[in-house]
Amino acid sequence: MKLYDIVVVGAGPAGMMAAIRAGQLGKNVMLIEKNDTIGKKLKITGSSRCNITNTASLNIFIEKFGRKGAFFRSAFSSFSNKRLMSFFEFKGLKFKEENQGRVFPVSDKSRSVIKVLKEYLSENRVKINYKTRLVRIKKKKDYFSLDLGNDNYMATKKVIIATGGISYSSTGSTGDGFNVAEKLGHKIVSLKPGLVPLTVSEEWVKDLQGITLENVRFTVKIGKKKIVSDIGNLIFTHFGISGPLVLDLSNQIVSILEKNETVNLYIDIKPEMTVPELEEKLINELEVRSKTEFKNFMKLFIPNRMIPIFVELLEINPKKKVNQVNKGERNKIINLLKAFPLTITGTLPINKAMVTCGGISKKEIDPQTMESKIVDGVYFAGEIIDFCAPSGGYNLQEAFSTGFLAGESAAKSLNPKEE
Ligand SMILES: Cc1cc2nc3c(=O)[nH]c(=O)nc-3n(C[C@H](O)[C@H](O)[C@H](O)COP(=O)(O)OP(=O)(O)OC[C@H]3O[C@@H](n4cnc5c(N)ncnc54)[C@H](O)[C@@H]3O)c2cc1C
């Protein structure tokens, strides 16, 4: 049986980068992928535009990966956002920066990112076996035997596991890597949905499906205790809420929901105005439009389709002329505009989450090399590692950086004298 220097499992961004780097360092690399194509999830990232990284500084990157974010310092330093962009620019791919430092290819196509990766894979002589699924790793005396099912085996000196998480399983990320790692003795930190839409108990949310609220303030409370507050855009869906702001805050909300059955959410629809400013505006408009019916008047403040919900929650006659709106009703309008309430009951299932939080415990991986501390010669890269990051290009940068470091470390470990 042929003995490879390195077998990389999973042709997502992490696995492809690991294979390319090991190939660049002259190793005989095999990349195995259970799909019949590379980068199936990468293709749908950023609505197929691929938010590949972020322009944030190294310290911000580490902050975004939470309390134990420093684990990724070596990976982000070895292959930073700047180095990632140069890597692609070298092959002619140009980038642009959008809001909050998000970086996209100028082409607005994830396909162009995959094309460059293909070029690098081929010029570094990485062999790719498609429709090949790793089932189990067996450690032999001085090599690994990879069980590929149906009595097929592959032999390798080093193995890099980059099989991703368990969300959007149709792209191939079905969690095989967790089973393989567990059998090797690794601990899996419990898997939870990350960047996931939220469900709410209010039935009427269905009537708001498709409405986007831009630059609203989103305040999450348990009882009276404020937990999180942030400004951004949200979209109502038939089950609850989604959109960039919701997805980003969902990581924290998932943890809160573990200890609380429901979480209260208040949307400040007019965060740019203080309560006195909003009151002044409301009083002026009520005077100017005194003969307007209440239901038409509210168009000044909220999207049309939200008006019936407002009317119901405020218990104000929709046909009432606004010159008859009294002070108590005015206060109720202001309260609802500043704190439109929703009750969060949960999230969509993990398969509908953009990322999987949790994974191989970071305590069992050497951050300098990505090598397992449990089994020498096994490396991990990408979403399979335990972390939970916000949207903005951070997840793909993590995949590319840890992939690069794992590929480089595995290759260098085969000829330590050259280091
Ligand atoms: C809809 C959507 C949009 C996203 N948009 C963005 C974005 O714009 N920016 C961003 O930073 N992140 C984004 N993400 C997250 C990002 O795609 C992932 O974090 C990233 O793809 C993880 O890379 P990976 O290489 O670790 O795993 P994956 O991309 O999941 O790749 C793992 C590969 O391993 C293969 N595999 C699995 N098991 C086996 C096995 N047993 N044998 C062989 N092969 C196997 C799979 O088929 C797959 O090809 C998005 C995710 C989704 C779902």
Residue of 33, 37, 40, 41 to test ligand 1 pocket, by largest number of atoms within 8 Å of CB = 41
Atom from ligand 1 closest to the CA of residue 46 = 8
Q: Is the CB of 195 under 6 A from ligand 1?
A: no
Nearest CA to ligand 1 atom 4: 45
- How much helix, strand and coil, in percent to the nearest 5, is found in the chain? 40, 25, 35
Helices then strands, counting H and E runs in the chain, come out as: 13, 18
Query: What does the pLDDT read at residue 223?
Result: 83
- pLDDT band of 417, cuts 50, 70, 90: low
Cβ contact 27:51 at 8 Å: no
Q: Dump pLDDT digits (tens) for 147-161.
A: 999 999 999 999 999
**What is the CATH T-level fold of the domain 3-189+357-414, as seen in this structure?**
FAD/NAD(P)-binding domain (3.50.50)
> Does any ligand 1 atom lie closer than 6 A to the CB of residue 232?
no
108: its two tokens: 């607005």
d(CA 393, CA 379): 23
- Reading across the β-sheet that carries 53-54, which strands appear in turn? 53-54, 102-105, 95-97
Q: How far apart are the first and last CA of the chain?
A: 29
Find the 395 Cα to ligand 1 centroid distance in Å. 9
Residue spans of the domains in the chain: they are 3-189+357-414, 197-347
Amino acid at 224: K
Ligand 1: does its nearest atom lie under 6 Å from the Cβ of 268? no
Helix (H, G, I), strand (E, B) or coil at 92: coil
Q: Does pLDDT of 235 surpass 60?
A: yes
pLDDT (0 to 100) of residue 225: 87
> Which tokens sit at 299?
């168009």
Query: What is the Cα–Cα distance from 313 to 332, expressed in whole angstroms?
Result: 9
With a threshold of 0.85, does the pTM exceed it?
yes
pLDDT band at 141 (very low <50, low <70, confident <90, very high): very high
**Pocket flag, ligand 1, residue 32 (CB < 6 Å):** yes
3-class SS at 261?
A: coil
The pLDDT tens digits for 341-353 are 999 999 999 999 9
| Run of H or E including 129 | strand 127-129
Q: Which of 163, 360, 405 to mutate to test the pocket of ligand 1 (most atoms within 8 A of CB)?
A: 163
pLDDT higher than 60, residue 418: no
Whole-angstrom CA distances from 77 to 59, 287, 397 are 10, 61, 11
Give residue 13 CA to ligand 1 midpoint distance, Å.
7
d(CA 172, ligand 1 centre) in Å: 8
Helix axes 327-338, 275-288, angle to 10 degrees: 130
**Residue with tokens 């990632």, as numbered in its chain:** 84
Q: Ligand 1 mean position to 6 CA, how many Å?
A: 21
Which runs of consecutive H residues, i.e. helices, occur in 155-260? Answer: 176-183, 244-259
- Give me ligand 1 centre to Cα 352, in Å: 13
Q: Is the CB of 128 under 6 A from ligand 1?
A: no
Section 102-131 average pLDDT? 98
Model confidence pLDDT, tens digit, residues 65-100: 998 999 999 999 999 999 999 999 999 999 999 999
What is the pLDDT confidence band of residue 416, given thresholds at 50, 70 and 90? low
Q: Does the C-beta of 35 come closer than 6 Å to ligand 1? A: yes
Is 10's C-beta closer than 6 angstroms to any atom of ligand 1? Answer: yes
